[in-house]
Amino acid sequence: MNVLVKGAGVAGLTVAYELCLRGAEVTILEPFRDERSAASWYAGGMLAPWCERESAEQPIIDLGSKAADWWEATLPGTVTRNGTLVIASPRDVKELDRFGGRTSGFVHIGEEAISLLEPDLGGAFRKGLFFEGEAHLEPRRVLKDLRTMLTAWNTRFETEMSAPEISDFEWVLDCTGIASSDTDLRGVRGEMLLLRSKDISLSRPIRLIHPRFPLYIVPRPDNIFMVGATMIESHASGPIKARSVMELLNAAYSVHAAFGEAEIIETGAGIRPAYPDNLPRVVKTGNRISINGLYRHGFLLAPAMARQAADMILPERNVRHETHRQWL
């Protein structure tokens, strides 16, 4: 079975992986050499279905609750299972109850427990919600590792292909995110920063209740922190706006004053592809399948979407027995 996957974001790479596992011969068409063309490049990497339920529907939990297991089984050692801590500044503390009222899978915690979980936040926050079952990963690392593994499995990566070449494939999967021609899709711009500071240590994503958009800080290796993210109804790519930088920096500073001295090592904006109901879709039309609408949840939902799509083509998942580690 030979399959073309268009797009090497998280949707394309995960479905390519699932298809390779089932014995398909996969080619990936990705015209842009610069990884910054993908929304996936900008993601925080939170695998947080229970927190996301605050603004999302139940399918996000149903589809996403096993995502951490999938990533860990696929790329051992890439998932950190330390949960999520949700906090609020004293003036927004009532909003924690509202957040808790819309979510599940957490415990209420006080100042002492916050200090035990995150010593660097000790004394600064009196109340929080701890979502113990959640996890996070480093998106750029898992994208790179998936590419490495796929290459080792003889997946071809192409930057150009003619229409006749494309029509030779038995199946074509469209994973082009916001570049898809699907007119139901809209873009939701997400701006983010990467900060570096040796003066702060965090073990898990911290979500700060914020009146305008969900703000979070995700720790990464080498003293780096991803701070995100705006939610702007727009297809427009391009540099981050000054207001967004100010809001994200203010939020980081209110979590810990040492962020005021952090280095800003990167700013960026990705366009999340979303359907009107903000839920993902796998749509089959003849020998074409589209996986899209991953919205705020690409890393959380891609494993389930990849399996759905692969099941439409090759239901058996039994061909590759090699340990994945040997490819990395």
Ligand X SMILES: Cc1cc2nc3c(=O)[nH]c(=O)nc-3n(C[C@H](O)[C@H](O)[C@H](O)COP(=O)(O)OP(=O)(O)OC[C@H]3O[C@@H](n4cnc5c(N)ncnc54)[C@H](O)[C@@H]3O)c2cc1C
Q: Does 296 bind ligand X (CB under 6 A)?
A: yes
Residue 290 CB contacts under 8 Å (≥ 6 apart), including other chains: 173, 174, 175, 180, 182, 281, 282, 283
Q: What character string, x for contact with ligand X (CB under 6 A) and - otherwise, covers 110-149?
A: ----------------------------------------
Min separation Cβ 82 and ligand X, Å: 15
Min separation Cβ 41 and ligand X, Å: 7
154: left (phi over 0), alpha (psi -120 to 50) or beta: left
**Residue (128 or 177) nearer to ligand X, CB:** 177
Question: Looking at 79, 146, 179, 289, which residue binds ligand X (CB under 6 A)?
Answer: 179
Min separation Cβ 130 and ligand X, Å: 18
Contact 116, 125 (CB under 8 A): no
Binding-site size for ligand X (CB under 6 A) equals 40
Min separation Cβ 154 and ligand X, Å: 20
Q: Does 8 bind ligand X (CB under 6 A)?
A: yes
DSSP characters over 190-249: EEEEEEE-SS---SS-EEE--SSS-EEEEEETTTEEEEE---EE----SSPPHHHHHHHH
Question: Looking at 79, 121, 192, 193, which residue binds ligand X (CB under 6 A)?
Answer: 192
**Interacting stretch for ligand X, rule CB under 6 A, among 42-50, 151-159, 231-239, 254-262?**
42-50
Question: Looking at 37, 78, 244, 278, which residue binds ligand X (CB under 6 A)?
Answer: 37
**Sign, CA torsion 199/201/207/213:** positive
* Beta-carbon count within 10 A of 156 CB: 12
With residues binned 3-state (H G I as helix, E B as strand, rest as coil), the percentages for the chain, rounded to 5, are 40, 25, 35
**Residue (149 or 178) nearer to ligand X, CB:** 178
The beta strand positions in 25-123, using DSSP E, are: 25-29, 46-47, 79-80, 84-87, 107-110
Question: Looking at 53, 186, 272, 307, which residue binds ligand X (CB under 6 A)?
Answer: 272
Q: Does 177 bind ligand X (CB under 6 A)?
A: yes
Min separation Cβ 21 and ligand X, Å: 18
Question: Looking at 44, 83, 105, 303, which residue binds ligand X (CB under 6 A)?
Answer: 44
Q: Does 46 bind ligand X (CB under 6 A)?
A: yes
Residue 248 CB contacts under 8 Å (≥ 6 apart), including other chains: 191, 192, 193, 215, 227, 228, 230
**Residue (103 or 292) nearer to ligand X, CB:** 292
**Interacting stretch for ligand X, rule CB under 6 A, among 10-18, 123-131, 148-156, 244-252?**
10-18
Residue 57 CB contacts under 8 Å (≥ 6 apart), including other chains: 277, 278, 279
Give phi and psi for 165, each to the nearest 5: -65, -40
SS3 188: strand
Min separation Cβ 138 and ligand X, Å: 11
Residues of this chain that bind ligand X (CB under 6 A): 6-12, 29-32, 37-40, 42-46, 175-179, 190, 192, 228-229, 270, 272-273, 292, 294-300
